[in-house]
Structure 1
Amino acid sequence: MTAPRLALSIVAALLLAVPCFGRLGETFDGCTKRYGKHVRISNDGGVYVFESSGFRIFAEFDDGKVDRIAYKKLLPTKDYVGPPLQISMSEIHELLNRNFGGGKWETLHPDLYTVVYECPDKKMSAVYSTLTGRLIIFTEAAGQNALKAAEEAAQKQPEAAGLEGL
């Protein structure tokens, strides 16, 4: 085998060995082709859960396309008891790059429990929590919708009795 053919074979093998991860903007059919049939749907039908390449993937759709996607490592056994499995930094960077077409993400506000990432154009953001072992990547619109929903839910909560003076 000639050197160029050998190099091409190695590159092809490496590309095929990399786990396939969904991306923001992907359709439901695209997710199904990538991961197989979903394993669960949220009660409100807005989030489809898939399992692939050692990850549980939570895909939320808006107008037929993924606008928020979360990744969490699958537990080694169903009886596993222990802390959440962590996604490695190299896996986090790979997932971020696959969702931004290889563009550079800025790291904002890293602390012991949470790292926030943002694209330079601010159209996508991501949050990784070491407490949950979950990476959530979302569009600007999905982030605004989540904030609005949280504000509406907070307004519906009754005031905590006896805490007025605190």
Structure 2
Amino acid sequence: MKTSLSVMSLEHVENGDHDHPEEKKTFTRSADLEQQTPPQFAFNSASIRAAFVRKVFAIVTVMILVVIVMVTPVITVDDIRLFMIKNSWVYWIGLYMFVAFAATVAVFIFGIVLAIMSLFIYIKMIVGGKRYEISPEDYIFAALMLFIDIYEIFVSMLSLFNAANN
């Protein structure tokens, strides 16, 4: 049995029955196998690669300029430099605030990613055609699963924005 999958131009070849435990499945694709990139993500021409490199280095340049702008007053202005030397507690307060904020954001983002992954799995089950699918008679159950996942994502995002405002 030979079926085609639309994701990343994969071609799915199955040998044997679906119920057979030693079923062989092989996947082939038309992308560069050595770099293991799907066709839509492969750098096919030098101009695409050059544009990518320019964008990356432009972003890094902007980031370095922002750091220079933030550090320059602390180094060049004597009053600010002496204040920072005498009051090292400012560094520690900033570090503690950063760690608390980063941990809170990381937990919320992790929850949002988990909810989005479960939403993706449920949508694949609703669409069907795979090993696990939801029966057409269970449309209320499927709608409820999707609603609960969307609700979880919405509540997680609201919690994240509320934590950012406080």
Please indicate the TM-score interval, normalised by the length of the shorter structure. under 0.3
The structure, 1 or 2, with the larger RCO (C-alpha pairs under 8 Å, 6+ apart) is 1
Q: TM-score, normalized by length of structure 1?
A: 0.21
- Bigger radius of gyration: 2
Q: Name the structure with the higher strand share.
A: 1
